[in-house]
Amino acid sequence: IQELLRVMRTIDDRIVHELNTTIPTASFVGKVDPGQTCKELYQSLMDAHTSRERIIKNCISQTSAVVKTLKEEREKAHEDAALLKQLRKEQTKLKLMQSELNVEEVVNDRSWKVFS
């Protein structure tokens, strides 16, 4: 999922470039509607942020369900080392997803500051 998020964050990583290419120079003012292109960039940014947040929250939800199930199984079989190992792995993945949500917030804030 981290690779997917990295690819999906391309628009945020290139926001300065996107803005520079969106706002026309004096020679292109008559050929391009800067208001419309700015509006399209804004919408693209909004769509990217919404979809990434939805994906991260979906992963958190699924991983939380797996952790809950593994905890219930662990209560029944205290001595199962493989189960404990799987539980720890899923808990680590859950923490990673929750930290990705924080990273997403920082990335979004930075992009909106640049956009504004």
Above pLDDT 70, what percent of the chain? 92
The ranges assigned to domains in the chain are: 1-21+32-113
CB 4 within 8 A of CB 97: no
CB 70 within 8 A of CB 86: yes
pLDDT in tens, 24-53: 666 666 666 777 888 888 899 999 999 999
The whole-chain average pLDDT of the chain stands at 87
Distance in angstroms (rounded) separating the CA atoms of residues 95 and 102 = 11
**Cα–Cα–Cα angle for 53, 70, 99, rounded to 5 degrees:** 30
Global confidence as pTM = 0.79
Q: What is the dihedral of CA 56, 62, 63, 67, to 10 degrees?
A: 150
